[in-house]
């Protein structure tokens, strides 16, 4: 399995385990730049690939994602392996882009995993399939046992701001961060003054601020 680690901050600082989206690997341009942005914010990230993407890397054939149980099993297995290599007490967060972020949030809704990580960061959450706002993927949010941060572009076809805020009765532990003009890859409109890199930096800043807000109560006493 391909594992990509991008170091940032202190050797005992927080680690964010990041899963890729449905169609692109862990070393896609988005994932590479996001890892670099996170490192500049003092966050070490570890990227991994689900089994179907590992096979694609081996033979070059595109495949659909594995079924949800296999994705969750793979994510949990990598979490266990990575956590075992880290120093005792090092803060671990999980998350990912699109499908990867959704899988992370589903793990956070499993009570048996409580305490295995401290929070979830979703980059472009797939609230519903494009053009299908009747098929929401939020039923598990009420069961999530840790803080979750969703960083979303306002024109993301998987969940635009107006429809998400209308549909989602936000749980207390869910933080929504909106990036004006961003699409599902957090790319801005051509007429915007911000570049894609600027929105990715902003997303990484939001992720780092969220992680620090989760850690702060633990360091205050």
For residue range 109-134, list pLDDT tens digits in order: 999 999 999 999 999 999 999 999 99
Instruction: Report, as an integer, the average pLDDT of 144-160.
Output: 97
- Please state, for a pLDDT cut of 90, what percent of the chain lies above it: 87
**pLDDT value at residue 122:** 98
Which pLDDT value is given to residue 221? 43
Percentage of the chain exceeding pLDDT 70 = 97
For the cut 60, the answer to whether the pLDDT of residue 220 exceeds it is: no
Q: Can you give the pTM of this predicted structure? A: 0.95
What pLDDT digit, counting tens, does each position of 13-35 carry?
A: 999 999 999 999 999 999 999 99
Rounded to whole angstroms, the Cα distance separating 38 from 6 reads: 9
Q: What is the mean pLDDT of residues 50-63?
A: 93
Token digits for 110? 């499993």
Instruction: Please determine, looking at this structure, whether the domain spanning 4-219 carries the CATH number 1.10.3720.10.
Output: no
**pLDDT at 219 exceeding the cut of 90:** no
With bands split at pLDDT 50, 70 and 90, how would you rate the model's confidence at 168? confident
> Which of 156-160, 172-176, 207-211 is predicted least confidently?
172-176
Question: Any idea where the domains of the chain sit in the sequence?
Answer: 4-219
| Half-sphere exposure for 58 (CA within 13 Å, toward CB) | 10
CA 8 to chain centre: 17
Tell me: pLDDT of 89 over 90. Answer: no
Which of 63, 71, 136 lies closest to 106 in space, CA to CA? 71
Read off the pLDDT band of 218 (50, 70, 90). Answer: low
| Residue closest to 65 by CA, chosen among 103, 91, 16, 116 | 103
Residue 175 pLDDT: 95
Mean pLDDT of 153-178: 91
- Across the chain, mean pLDDT equals 94
Is beta strand 120-123 parallel, antiparallel or unpaired with respect to 4-6?
Answer: unpaired
């Amino acid at each position: 399995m391909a594992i990509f680690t991008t170091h940032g901050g202190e050797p005992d600082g927080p680690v964010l385990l990041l899963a890729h989206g449905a169609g692109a690997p862990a070393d896609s341009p988005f994932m590479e730049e996001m890892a670099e942005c996170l490192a500049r914010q003092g966050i070490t990230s570890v990227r991994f690939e689900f089994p179907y993407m590992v096979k694609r890397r081996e033979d070059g054939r595109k495949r659909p994602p594995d079924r949800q149980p296999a994705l969750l099993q793979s994510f949990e297995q990598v979490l266990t392996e990575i956590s075992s290599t880290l120093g005792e007490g090092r803060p671990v967060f999980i998350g990912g882009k699109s499908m990867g972020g959704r899988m992370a949030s589903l793990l956070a809704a499993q009570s048996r995993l409580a305490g295995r990580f401290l929070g979830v960061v979703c980059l472009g959450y797939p609230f519903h399939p494009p053009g299908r706002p009747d098929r929401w993927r939020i039923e598990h949010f009420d069961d999530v046992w840790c803080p979750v941060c969703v960083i979303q572009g306002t024109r993301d076809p998987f969940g635009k701001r107006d429809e998400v805020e209308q549909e989602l009765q936000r749980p207390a532990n869910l933080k929504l961060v909106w990036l004006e003009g961003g699409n599902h890859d957090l790319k801005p409109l051509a007429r915007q003054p911000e570049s894609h890199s600027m929105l990715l930096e902003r997303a990484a800043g939001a992720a780092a601020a969220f992680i620090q807000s989760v850690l702060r109560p633990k360091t205050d006493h």
